Chain A
Amino acid sequence: MKQVYFKILVIAGFLSLACTTRVSEWVLLNALPNQYTLVFFHNGPPGENIKKQNQEITDRIKNANIRFKTADRKDIKEPYYGLYYEDRLFSKFSNPAEMKDLTTSPLREKVAAELMGGKICVMLYLKTGIREKDDRGMQTLKKSLDASPFGGIITVVELSRNSTEEAHFANMLLNVEDDLKTIREPMLFGVFGKFKALEPLLGKGITEENISLMIDYLTAECSCLIKDDLPGTDILFTDKWDNPRPALLNKIIDDNPLLGE
């Protein structure tokens, strides 16, 4: 009989923990990143060289949230690779050289390390190259983080949308929504969980109020509404999400319980 009481106590403990987990922590621990699909479109049976080339690509990307497929299509002249996220075409590549570092890059490594280190999120500032616009948004961001009690556990990284080293990463961010490529405004992406990028704040939408709301969203108690309908797009990255450090957010909330309400 005593064992039954003990089991009830343990289950109740787990349930109470589940209800107080914050969005950023819950997503990192529980939500698996969505898969990309790399499709090789060809007309007719591929030759041995192509098969070997595709096997090399498969080996190179096997540790990331992506799968490889081939599709025989009669309506194409030249073979090509298409990178899809759900049913959205993100990029087209005519040869494997264009897919170099598709699943990883220095900045993605850095962002992932910050997320695994217990930070709430990484605020990724995608710059236009127009200094006046970029500086205005960055000043607002710095001011907002200085004013926030969680500012110290949010990392800011900057990326130019024209970066060649991070071209795949910038392209994925610009595909988070289907019109972003046409907008020449600085963009602020909240990156959290296992590399999930929220739909960005952009241009004049980068305000202290909106940044504060982004922080509120990521530090809120995780409700079923959030779990069932997670916003954002998962970024392609190698699968290195084991044993993250405990969320730094919890200590701040434990010390100041009013912040958690």
Chain B
Amino acid sequence: MQNDTISYDTVNDRPLPKWLTDQKEGLITIQPQKIEIKEDNSLKISFIATITVILLTIGVLTVFILKKFKRKE
């Protein structure tokens, strides 16, 4: 606890005790958890992952089918 008193001209200007100002501002009571809105990228990531999987599957299947047809010829 800081006890060094801040300078002031008259007793009326004297700063209030810290415990009192904290109590006035509600800083001492248990604070509710602050909810911060964060950017949600999960949908974007899901789309990219799905498209990548589809393209890879198409690519692999195309190569597989083309090779099969070549062998038959």
Max count, chain A CB within 10 A of own CB: residue among B1, B16, B18, B27: B1
- Decide yes or no whether B48 CB sits under 8 A from chain A: no
In the bound assembly, the distance between CA atoms of A213 and B26 in angstroms comes to 10
Contacts of B24 in A (CB 8 A): 213
> Chain B, interface size: which category?
10 to 19
- Decide yes or no whether A220 CB sits under 8 A from chain B: yes
Max count, chain B CB within 10 A of own CB: residue among A177, A199, A220, A226: A199
> Which B1-45 residues sit within 8 Å CB-CB of chain A?
1, 3-5, 11-12, 14, 16-20, 23-24, 27-30
Contact for B16 among A176, A205, A226, A230, CB less than 8 A? A205
B18 to A, closest residue via Cβ? A231
Please give the number of chain A residues whose Cβ is less than 8 angstroms from any Cβ of chain B in the complex: 30
Contacts of A176 in B (CB 8 A): 3
Given A217-B23, A217-B28, A226-B28, are A179 and B17 neighbors across the interface (CB < 8 Å)?
Answer: no
Query: Do A220 and B28 have beta carbons less than 8 Å apart?
Result: yes
Contacts of B4 in A (CB 8 A): 178
In the bound assembly, the distance between CA atoms of A159 and B1 in angstroms comes to 25
- Decide yes or no whether A221 CB sits under 8 A from chain B: yes
In the bound assembly, the distance between CA atoms of A217 and B28 in angstroms comes to 8
Q: Chain B nearest CB: distance from A176 CB in Å?
A: 8
B7 to A, closest residue via Cβ? A179
Given A217-B28, A220-B28, A221-B30, are A179 and B19 neighbors across the interface (CB < 8 Å)?
Answer: no
Contacts of A220 in B (CB 8 A): 28-29
Query: Do B1 and A178 have beta carbons less than 8 Å apart?
Result: no
Query: Do B19 and A217 have beta carbons less than 8 Å apart?
Result: yes
Excluding A201-B20, A214-B20, A217-B20, 17 further A-B contacts by CB distance (< 8 Å) are A177-B3, A179-B14, A198-B17, A199-B3, A199-B18, A200-B17, A202-B11, A204-B11, A213-B20, A213-B23, A223-B29, A223-B30, A225-B28, A230-B1, A231-B1, A231-B18, A232-B19
14 intermolecular pairs with C-beta atoms under 8 Å apart = A178-B4, A183-B14, A199-B3, A199-B17, A199-B18, A199-B19, A199-B20, A201-B20, A213-B24, A214-B23, A217-B20, A226-B28, A229-B1, A232-B1
Binding site for B on A (CB under 8 A): 88, 176-179, 183, 185, 198-205, 210, 213-214, 216-217, 220-221, 223, 225-226, 229-233
